[in-house]
Amino acid sequence: MTAMSDPGIHIFNHSAMATQFQVRIAGEEKTYAAQVAQTAFALIDNLESKLSRFQENSEISHIATLAVGEQLRLTEPVFACLNTAQKMEAATGGAFSITAAALKKQSEQPLWALLPAEFSIRCERGQLEFDLGAIGKGFALDRVAQLMEEWSCPAYLLVAGGSSILAGEPPPGKTGWNCGLGTGEKEKRYLLKNESMSSSGIAAQGRHILDPRNGQPATTRDNTWAMTDSATESDALSTAAMVLSEAEIAGVVARNPAWLVFLRGEKDEKNWRQLGQRPMPPVA
Amino acid sequence: MKTADNSYEKAGGKISRREFLGTTAVAGAGLLLGGCSAESQKTEVAPPKFSGKKLNVALFGCGAQGQVLLESLTVIESIQLVAIVDIWDYNRKMIVRRLKSIDQPVKDYPDQEELLANEKNLDAVIVATPDFWHAPITNACLKAGLHVYCEKMMSNTIEGARSMVKTMQETGKLLQIGHQRRSNPRYIFALNKLIHDAQICGKLTSAQAEWNRPVTADMGFPKHSEMSSETLAKYGYKDMHQFRNWRWFKALGGSPLADLGAHQIDIFNWFLGGLPSSVVASGGVDYYKNHEWFDNAMVIYEYPRADGSTLRAFYQVQTTSSSDDGYFEKFKGDEGSVKMSENPSFCALKQEDRSIKDWDELAAKNYIRRVDVPPPSEDEKIDPREEIPMFKYSIPVQFAKKMHQPHLENFFDAIRGTAKLNCPGDVAFASEYVIHKAVEAVETGKRIVITKEETEA
């Protein structure tokens, strides 16, 4: 965790969830900002200990041990994250799924049910090998945003691995947090405020995103960007948009007016399309 | 309830197959449970849903450690968390809100005496307050007829810890101390199966443990959440900073050797089956400007062995760097070594060249697991030759529960009479006594001799 010399905005970094998190805080005294950031990173570490499939004591690892018909009581964050994952799967017609890789090992997608009355999960079919890699980091940012509110720290920008951003109120005197799509000369920059933007693509990890509907690597496009109110949603939506056709994306965002998806032409990189009714943020 | 002389070795050290299975869940096929038999490949599933009478439990202290324990408490089916207490309104409201959101409403109290006066149907309490409150709260709860699970250290003073054992013995109530590794299936397996049964270390010759923690900022608190100066003073704090950073202060905490080292020095004592006869140490406030307690310390204990030899155990706690593999405990012998950690990725087994034990045979018997290591890439190969497949051995035990859950479950099982406490107060007292002595060694710079008699409460 390091602080930047810019007196107006304090920047802190932390490694977690196999990536780099960054918290930028504006309009606060430096010591207070550092204490908030330290608390935020502890929260992220705690969430990772619950949500990581690589930690054997995590709830996600425990869920993977459930036999068909068995259920397990969950902590609140895990239940909430899985609940949102389920909603995103339904909202995207199955294009987003935390069991996307299941078809590699299992003949059909595993089935599971959340039991709100008991705050539990029940295994209905197969082995519940969940991978929250396309939603967990966004979920963590949303939880940090709640913490920022509790600490009366409204002006912040939260970043998870460069792929998900959650902007709070802008720095004092500014219209929004200057964030861009893409890189270099091709980027489009916007001033974000109280909204989230996530990206998915093949640049960092190749064609690692699988289409949950057939278990095959996504080849529809190279990059997507999604803008929503919450980072959990934008994280999952940008992943789903990697496997959906443009017509399917248009259908998804039509049913969810707070969602916006950006696509870029594969051959003509200047051919940007924005799908959805969400108002565009101001251009930077 | 005085523990017999040999109970120290027994406490937490022996575990039946049934108990072992009860505290262990398997993640994936081929993992060892129970161990060392043909049936060990069986995949064990989560325990059946609890159908008996739930124990009513209260949580004292909702700070960082209280919240860690709370996560286990909310998923253990056999108990009902009915009340919490914390002097800080912010903590209390946060926990109440969190529990309400998972439909587990609790009553909340700002004062421990108020809780005890009002909650008359409690069976047990969990104490996770700052160390200097452990003894008064534990003693009050035991005297109120309640079983107590108290976080380590028992107290920031030897006298406080001794009073807890005395009250435990006078009331006949159970007192479990939160050295949670004593209920960790991987640790229990490593001690019983690897070190004792398989003797993979051969003759133990030394031990080493470390906890390396990075520099951290002082704990803060949200704006507008300060307690009044009257409330802070009533509960022993000078101000909010001291309340939030009580571990830095000598009157409130016990030093990093107590905060972090206590877990690992306790593992020395548990695994070596006895207590050290002396300690030397060095430490100081090397980095922080506002800590009363030292921030770095290095300790050497001498453990007398049954054959007349001495085993030296080195312990290091650093709160100024997270280098050197985080936190681990290593037991080294003339034939091999066992490196343990709560973090499974830090665990490791090593065989000495002189050892003639057939580790593949041990793997076949499920004492250890052979793990293939990917061959080096073409770029890394130095000279062409026929490759010998690389492999390593690991501890074949996984458990997919929260770290503290087995220890809490052991406590609740003991209340029901179906288990023996893995870390009762008198056993913990002896183990923690030598930690207090290490602190004393740091403070005085002197070698301190420890007699068996003084470690008895």
Q: Are residues B301 and B319 in the same domain?
A: yes
For chains A and B, count residue pairs whose Cβ atoms are closer than 8 Å. 80
Averaged confidence pLDDT in chain B: 88
User: B159: which 2 tokens?
Assistant: 């006298």
B413 inside domain: yes
Distance CA B441, CA B283 (A): 9
Q: Are residues B138 and B154 in the same domain?
A: yes
CATH number where B328 lies: 3.30.360.10
User: B275: which 2 tokens?
Assistant: 């207590």
Q: Are residues B299 and B207 in the same domain?
A: yes
B21 inside domain: no
Distance CA A44, CA A77 (A): 11
Q: Are residues B392 and B413 in the same domain?
A: no
B:301-330 residues touching chain A, CB 8 A cutoff: none
Q: Which residue out of B69, B100, B402, B409 would a mutagenesis test of the A interface target, given it has the greatest number of A Cβ atoms within 10 Å?
A: B402
Inter-chain contact B400–A67, Cβ cutoff 8 Å?
Answer: no
Q: Are residues B121 and B133 in the same domain?
A: yes
Buried b (16+ CB within 10 A) or exposed e, A57-68: bbbbbbbbbbee
B4 inside domain: no
**Nearest to residue B8, comparing CAs of B272, B313, B307?**
B272
B14-25 mean pLDDT? 35
B230 shares contact with chain A (CB less than 8 Å): no
Instruction: Name the minimum distance, in Å, from the CA of A119 to any CA of chain B.
Output: 6
In terms of pLDDT, which residue wins out, B364 or B387? B364
B427 inside domain: no
Contact A263, A272 (CB under 8 A): yes
B447 inside domain: yes
Q: Are residues B195 and B59 in the same domain?
A: no
B13 inside domain: no
Q: Are residues B177 and B308 in the same domain?
A: no
Q: Are residues B213 and B153 in the same domain?
A: no
Residue B416 has a CB neighbour count (10 Å cut-off) of 12
Q: With a cut of 50, say whether residue B373 has pLDDT above it.
A: yes
B73 inside domain: yes
pLDDT single digits (tens) B205-243:
999 999 999 999 899 999 999 999 999 999 999 999 999
pLDDT single digits (tens) A183-217:
554 568 899 999 999 998 776 566 667 788 877 77
What torsion, rounded to 10 degrees, do the Cα atoms A165, A168, A169, A175 define? 20
B376-405 mean pLDDT? 73
Q: Are residues B302 and B413 in the same domain?
A: no
B17 inside domain: no
Q: With a cut of 50, say whether residue A276 has pLDDT above it.
A: yes
pLDDT single digits (tens) B287-331:
999 999 999 999 999 999 999 999 999 999 999 988 767 899 999
Enclosing H/E stretch for A240: helix A231-243
Q: Are residues B392 and B450 in the same domain?
A: yes
Q: Are residues B117 and B163 in the same domain?
A: yes
CATH number where B73 lies: 3.40.50.720
Q: What is the pLDDT of residue A228?
A: 97
Domains of chain B: total: 2
Domains and their CATH numbers in chain A: 9-44+135-275 (3.10.520.10), 59-125 (no CATH)
Q: What is the pLDDT of residue B359?
A: 95
Q: Are residues B234 and B179 in the same domain?
A: no
Range of the domain at B295: 185-401+432-455
Contact A164, A141 (CB under 8 A): yes
Q: Which chain A residue shows the shortest CA-CA distance from B398?
A: A56
For B25-46, the DSSP string reads ---STT--SS-SSGGGGSPP-P
